[in-house]
Structure 1
């Protein structure tokens, strides 16, 4: 080694706390269709925790069960199916969805929720007017309240859940498609007529 090289080596060694070599660990910096399932659940739990803090909602469901309700909602499962899977009451699943601002188009059944929300009449009066049961009116009012609560928060929590769970479901479907396409490409043109 010449003098300049030794000088540079000494500077390098002093700067790197005596390490003779520096190896940077490689990380997957690009996006991946395969997501770590734990990170999805952790992100959903963080959203739920913030919502619990802000709205102080009460539910008999645990955070894990609330995550299952949210995931099931994005996978298109009904409240009845989710209730059966979780071994809880269907009403608890519905209430959990409303607390998480997970309102579907089917929840309103083409009723003017704003009109129902703003009316002061009791449930029986509205039930007669809309020709439905009082339980249905209570449900409509709960849906209207959940939508209003979500709107007041600029749909922030619903958007976060959309980002985490809708993107996760899309990524999972795409990863499955990629694996299947890769297998098709790998086996294309192969002879599969085998005699035993």
Structure 2
């Protein structure tokens, strides 16, 4: 990786942290310049606009989520074992967010706005739901789940469960948030089994 690519990587890490804490709208080239001790003109050379910065931050966060959650899950055996790894990694990542989950905060921030950032968020969330549904369909073909198990409903329920976890863990600071979420996941799996 070149020095310029390393710099951009470090800037995107900082930008993602800022966006998770302040929201994507709170992330500006000016605030990022202050946080990284870089010039606005230097950052503008990398990003060109606030919207371009927001989109690159989403791409960076998506790649991190893929590396930390999806790829380890795909390395596990198909079906229920893969879903368990994905759930465990997702939960672990949710516990480790010092500033909160960028995708959760951005979804709330952009849910009623039109534009490229919202479109990308919708695409990212749909990709996640599709990935979970595909893991469930693999579980059906492996015999781990009933033939009539609804993969899309499972994905919806798991996503809802994780949103509930973020709410309980971060906002409510419920020390039982993880245990409750694990119990709900086990129930979701039980309901899909033959």
Same fold per superposition (TM over 0.5): no
Q: Identify the structure with bigger relative contact order (alpha carbons < 8 Å, sequence gap 6+).
A: 1
TM-score bracket, shorter-length normalisation: under 0.3
Q: How does the TM-score come out when normalised to structure 2?
A: 0.26
More helix per residue: 1 or 2? 2
Q: TM-score, normalised by structure 1?
A: 0.26
- Bigger Rg, structure 1 or 2: 1
